[in-house]
C-alpha cells in the first residue's frame, strides 16, 4: 500500500473533473442556445457547483512542506515511522463522509 504524502494526485483529479464538468456545461449551453435563442440564461449543475467549492477549498490549503516530507521519507525508510491506526481510521471515515456529501 502506498501513501501519497505530497497530495499531488487529488489536485490533478480535481482539475480533470473540472475539465469534464466544463465540457458538459459547454455542450448543455450550446444545446440550450440552439433550442431557444430568444433568451439567454446560465444554469450550473450541482456537480459544477461542488467542483467550484472544492477548488476554492483546495486553493486555501497550505503549501507542501518539503522539509516535513523529507523527514517522513527518512523515518519510513529507517522503519521509525509509526502509524496511529485509530487516527487513520477516523480520518478515512471523515473523508468518505465528506466525499459522500459532495458527490452522493
pLDDT tens figures, 23-66: 888 877 776 666 555 678 888 899 999 999 888 887 777 778 88
Residue 96's pLDDT is 94
The angle formed by the CA atoms of residues 81, 84 and 90, to the nearest 5 degrees, is 140
The grid coordinates of residue 68 equal 516535513
Least confident of 15-19, 42-46, 88-92: 15-19
- Give the residue ranges of DSSP H helices in the chain: 8-35, 46-59, 66-78, 85-103
Q: How far is CA 59 from CA 15, 43, 54, 63, in A?
A: 12, 24, 9, 9
Residues 101 and 56 in one domain: no
Same domain, 26 and 51: yes
Same domain, 21 and 4: yes
Q: Are residues 50 and 73 in the same domain?
A: no
What is the 8-class DSSP label of residue 5?
Answer: S
- pTM for the full predicted model: 0.32
Q: What pLDDT was estimated at residue 34?
A: 60
Do 16 and 57 belong together in one domain?
yes
Q: Which residues of 8-31 are buried (b: 16+ CB within 10 A; e: fewer)?
A: eeeeeeeeebbeebeeebeeeeee
Provide the domain limits for residue 17.
1-34+43-62
In this structure, the answer to whether residues 58 and 75 fall within a common structural domain is no
Quick one: 52 and 77 in the same domain?
no
Residues 53 and 13 in one domain: yes
Q: Are 45 and 24 in contact (CB under 8 A)?
A: yes
What is the number of domains present in the chain? 2
Amino acid at each position: 500500500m502506498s501513501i501519497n504524502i505530497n497530495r499531488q494526485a487529488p489536485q490533478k483529479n480535481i482539475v480533470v473533473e473540472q475539465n469534464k464538468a466544463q465540457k458538459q456545461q459547454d455542450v448543455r449551453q450550446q444545446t440550450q442556445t440552439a433550442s431557444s435563442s430568444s433568451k439567454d440564461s446560465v444554469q450550473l449543475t450541482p456537480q459544477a457547483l461542488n467542483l467550484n467549492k472544492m477548488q476554492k477549498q483546495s486553493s486555501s490549503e497550505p503549501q507542501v512542506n518539503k522539509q516535513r516530507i523529507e523527514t517522513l521519507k527518512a523515518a519510513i525508510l529507517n522503519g521509525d515511522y509509526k502509524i496511529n491506526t485509530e487516527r487513520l481510521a477516523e480520518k478515512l471515515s471523515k473523508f468518505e463522509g465528506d466525499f459522500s456529501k459532495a458527490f452522493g
